[in-house]
Amino acid sequence: MGRLGLTGMLLYRDGQFLQVLEGPDEVVRARYEVIAADVRHRDVHKLMESQTTERQFPEWTMGFRAMTDAVVEDIPGYQDFFGARAARLGATQKASRARLLLEWFRHHSFATATATATS
């Protein structure tokens, strides 16, 4: 767990990010406001917000691991969310694709993705 009590995940591809923040409501909201106000970030959109009784990514902290094209090609939904066609999706469609992608990461570790791509 991070120093603010946050967990979640962060995906990056070609200048685009998908981030999940989990933790106490006031801490999540405050961190989102910091991210949205940061001038280095453009077009920040909240795709979904929900209350849960348990964290979806309790063992994850915000770190960075480079993922090759070979790795992401084997992750269902990755290209659908980050690919060229995704830029033309509406908010509801984008949120739906994000849910599918996050669900995959929730049940698979980065090590699993890397092993799958290199096997």
Per-domain residue ranges of the chain: 7-118
Kindly report which listed range (5-9, 61-65, 109-113) carries the lowest average pLDDT score. 109-113
- pLDDT tens-digit profile of 40-75? 988 898 888 888 888 888 877 666 666 777 888 888
Question: Do 44 and 35 touch, CB atoms closer than 8 A?
Answer: yes
pLDDT, residue 28, reads 93
The DSSP bridge pattern shows strands 7-13 and 16-22 to be antiparallel
DSSP code, position 8: E
The model carries a pTM of: 0.73
DSSP code, position 59: T
Mean pLDDT of the 24-52 span:
91
Helices (H), 14-109: 25-37, 69-73, 78-82, 91-107
